[in-house]
Structure 1
């Protein structure tokens, strides 16, 4: 029995790739920390690998503030900009160190802390990211189908009795290899464009 693309597409569907916190989901009123955590847990619960996983906690928020990748709250309340930053941090920390995230956000955080914060376009950046994320989700199934064809071509000599599990292992190796290449590229962009006095 061979690896089946339909089986992997069913797994992809379980990832809910199209579910995001839209800007319209974020209240215009400032929120207390508990309300922010509730918003994240309600809207991003599908991203948890297990029920014990935490999307966002008070400790995480405090650690982000200490690491200077989050602007301080205003009278213990968090604005729409805070929430957008927290969402971006959530996505980035899956693959990047806190130090790399600091380098990415350093100039933006300084601007958000300044009197000129009205000119910081963090919400537009987030909206652009969501559009690109959705376009990437559309392409994942197509790319996966190409990978499976490549795996089928390169595994014909495997034992038919164990072929499927071995093809699954090779699929994981191929996906992780691609993820590692893309992670290294992201780190190289940070090293070359953000680490030295910020991106200009």
Structure 2
């Protein structure tokens, strides 16, 4: 009974303003810019501290870790990341770790390895086939535009769901709206994940 009361109170607070606030929290999270990456090479402890400080707002739960020593070691063993030089990590390492963090939310480490294969030559860690800084800056520019589109699409989807519920004369409209919104977002995420995997399978994997 107590749980039902808590849910009811949360639902009473659900409206367009609260939805927009959640969207702003998501798209308002700051990315690591090139100028924020230290010019000097970092030891592993410094790398994990840097990431947990810069991307701490992305954690869902307080106890979550953005990056750990185990993660870095696993990326290196899996050849997703080139080995550290004299136990230190360069700007290129930081950029790759940032990209890995973004990608591993959706695709497997194996797929990430496949994508990075044409980018870096692990036999010569300093040999980068494309400029990582340019790639990363392009990604941030595109992401900024995509964030604005995300905010616009969320409002559009919300209005569509509301209209559908009103049209059908459903009771408990707020609850149904929230469930449908979650289902819609998951469906979009699944479609985008499958499309990313199709691109990887079609154009990146070697026969």
- The normalised TM-score by structure 2 is 0.88
Secondary structure, counterpart of 2:177 in structure 1? helix
Give me the whole-angstrom Cα distance separating, in 2, the residues matched to 1:19 and 1:13.
11
Tell me by how many angstroms 1:12 deviates.
1.3
Give the C-alpha shift of residue 159 in structure 1.
3.5
Instruction: Supply the distance in 1 between the matched residues of 2:60 and 2:125 (Cα, whole angstroms).
Output: 40
Distance, in Å, in 1 between the alignment partners of 2:126 and 2:37 is 23
User: 1:84 matched to which residue of 2?
Assistant: 95
Tell me the distance in 2 between the aligned counterparts of 1:168 and 1:35.
41
- Equivalent residues, number: 195
The corresponding residue for 1:190 is 200
**In structure 2, distance between residues paired with 1:46 and 1:124:** 25
Report the secondary structure of 2:117's partner residue.
helix
Separation in 2 of the partners of 1:116 and 1:58?
22
Root-mean-square deviation (CA, aligned residues, Å) is: 1.9
- Aligned mate of 1:164, from 128, 152, 174: 174
Residues 76-128 of structure 1, C-alpha deviation per residue, up to 9 Å, x if partnerless?
Answer: 00000000000000010000011111110112221x64387265311110110
Instruction: Give SS of 1:154's match.
Output: helix
Question: Which residue pairs with 1:28 in the alignment?
Answer: 39
C-alpha change, 1:2 and 1:147, in structure 2 (3 Å) is farther
List gaps (5 residues or longer) in structure 2. Answer: 1-11
What is the aligned partner in structure 2 of residue 40 from structure 1?
Answer: 51
How far apart are the structure 2 equivalents of 1:117 and 1:147? Answer: 45
The separation in 1 between residues aligned to 2:125 and 2:111, in whole angstroms, is 26
Tell me the residue number matched to 1:97. Answer: 108
| Larger CA deviation: 12-21 vs 88-97 | 12-21
For residue 8 of structure 2, what is the aligned residue in structure 1? Answer: none
Question: Tell me, which stretches of 5 or more residues in structure 1 are unaligned?
Answer: none
User: What is residue 70 of structure 2 aligned with on the other side?
Assistant: 59
Contact 1:16 1:46 in 2 (8 A): no
